[in-house]
Amino acid sequence: MQLPYQGKPPEISKLMNLWDKGKETDKLVASFTSGKDSKLDHHLAKYDVLGSIAHVKMLSSIGLLSVDEAGSLVLELKNIYRNICDGKFIIEDGVEDVHSQVEFMLTLALGETGKKVHTARSRNDQVLLDMKMFVRDKIREVVMQTHSLFKTLIELSNENKDLLMPGYTHMQAAMPSSFGLWFGGYAESLTEDMMLLKASYNITNRNPLGSAAGFGTSFQVDRNMTTNLLGFESMHVNVVNAQMNRGKMEKTVAFALGGIASTLSKLAMDICLYSGQNFGFLEIPEKFTTGSSIMPHKKNPDIFELIRATGNKLQALSIETAMIGTNLPSGYHRDFQLIKENFIPAFDSLLEIISITDRVIKGVKINKDIINKEIYRHIFSVEEVNRLVMKGTPFRDAYKIVAGRIDSDQYRAREEISHTHEGSIGNLCNELIAEKMEKVISGFEFGIVEKACKDLLS
């Protein structure tokens, strides 16, 4: 195995950019085109290393690297990986991005061997690979955190299945609902969000490595090998399509993240509304509220207002991502670089509001007597219509009879509910919803990716 580079260190100026041809670039242009890559790329560092290990192993298998060269590169890449995990990895001033930094470190340590790591790949398939691996891991975090919130909602639904609450349409009191039905509705909404996220994961979990700049390479690379080494379900077969996935993947994933964000935003809006004095359905514990600088009685639901706003902001991400790539022809364009700026941080924003919602909603106190308020006496009118229908009165006539009683103030509510069909107040079917969620989550098969990455580092 080759020893660490002992000769004269390569000139740093020659290693700042992978595209450097030895000609000076205007500093303002260099800074502008690099954008925020040097900061954002820290999120991609360990994936760049894992991708490089797989690439090196493949290059060795087809004879483009000797066994010793591949061994020394893999060993050094593992050292870099450990530095990343220990928080010691930095992208040095003047280095354009993580890809340049890793190659610079390899060249500094291994000399000429380090310069061979970029053989048969482009920065285009390299960054696309890094993003896909980053997204795979982040989707896993989102799935696990969402599953935790889902279980909380199912538990609350079961606990409150017999506790009635008013249901509203058009912001008007409408029909009887229950707190169990309300919590369960949001739980099932999350299962549908997971289905959409799974579809975006399927698009993400395709190997682009070997597509190079989008037109392949004359080297006889083994794309199946890197696909298996990195735990991808399959490869992007057509190299042009692989590059066209840049932007498309982010847009699709952003839309799926927006589905979860939408559910959380609506739930937050309900809690803001229902915890207010005009509704009084529930109460947020004071430790989860904020006060007013001049009104001593205020207990503001700021946390849910921020969850609502963050959720709405996340829903806009897919539109922003789509607009950056709108009307671009096939092939790579620097426009795609800007997608990272809001896309990468979006995962942590979503994870934060899922976690906070999960924590706070467990402490919400429910008003068990809300249904007995006088203003809700008419919401049982549909039940009265149905009772008349069951006795043989045509529905339209029964509707008019009850409406007449309400108009003449002759209607008196009988607070009796008999909803037994699937998914109703009296038959929540939460076990079916839980089965649906478990089936979706098991379909991700995260263990395959986890094992592949461990094997690369072993």
3-state secondary structure 213-245: CCCCCCCCCCHHHHHHHCCCCEECCCHHHHHHH
pLDDT value, residue 298: 83
Q: Which of 214, 212, 210 is nearest to 224 (CA)?
A: 210
The DSSP call for residue 121 is: -
What integer pLDDT is reported at residue 26 of this predicted model? 62
The residue whose two tokens read 């696909």 is 227
- Per domain, the residue ranges of the chain are 12-119, 134-217+244-371+428-457
Contact 234, 160 (CB under 8 A): no
Q: In angstroms, how far is the first alpha carbon of the chain from the final one? A: 18
Round to whole Å and give the CA distance between 414 and 407: 17
User: Whole-angstrom Cα distance, residue 39 to residue 21?
Assistant: 25
Q: Which of 279, 260, 262, 283 is nearest to 366 (CA)?
A: 283
Residue segments in the chain with a per-residue pLDDT below the cut of 70:
1-38
Question: Which one from 13, 31, 234, 292 is the annotated catalytic residue?
Answer: 292
Dump the DSSP string for 237-275: -SHHHHHHHHHHHHHHHHHHHHHHHHHHHHHHHHHHHHT
Fold of 134-217+244-371+428-457: Fumarase C; Chain A, domain 2 (1.20.200)
Model confidence pLDDT, tens digit, residues 396-422:
999 999 999 999 999 887 777 888 899
Residues with Cβ < 8 Å from 362, sequence gap 6 or more?
A: 152, 156
Rounded distance between C-alpha atoms, residue 109 and residue 103, angstroms: 10
Return d(Cα 225, Cα 189) in angstroms, integer: 39
Q: Are strands 282-283 and 206-207 parallel, antiparallel or unpaired?
A: unpaired
Cα(131)–Cα(246) distance, integer angstroms: 9
Question: Which residues lie below 8 Å from residue 138, measured CB to CB, with a gap of 6+?
Answer: 347
**292 among known catalytic residues:** yes
Nearest CA-CA partner of 115 in 58, 72, 62: 72
3-state class of 77 per DSSP? helix
Q: How many CB atoms lie within 10 A of CB 169?
A: 8
Alpha-carbon span 117 to 109, nearest angstrom: 13
Q: Strand (E) positions, 142-225?
A: 164-169, 172-178, 206-207
Residue partners of 106: CB distance under 8 A and separation at least 6 = 73, 76, 77, 80, 113, 114, 117
Q: Which of 137, 121, 111 is nearest to 55 (CA)?
A: 121
Q: Note whether 56 and 117 are within 8 A (CB).
A: yes
Supply 191's token pair.
């299962």
The residue from 170, 293, 297, 458 that is catalytic is 170
CB count in 10 Å sphere of residue 457: 15
For the stretch 28-34, contacts whose Cβ atoms lie closer than 8 Å and that sit 24 or more positions apart, written own/partner, are 30/96, 33/334, 34/96, 34/97
Closest CA to 308 of 358, 269, 347, 355: 269
What class has domain 12-119?
mainly alpha
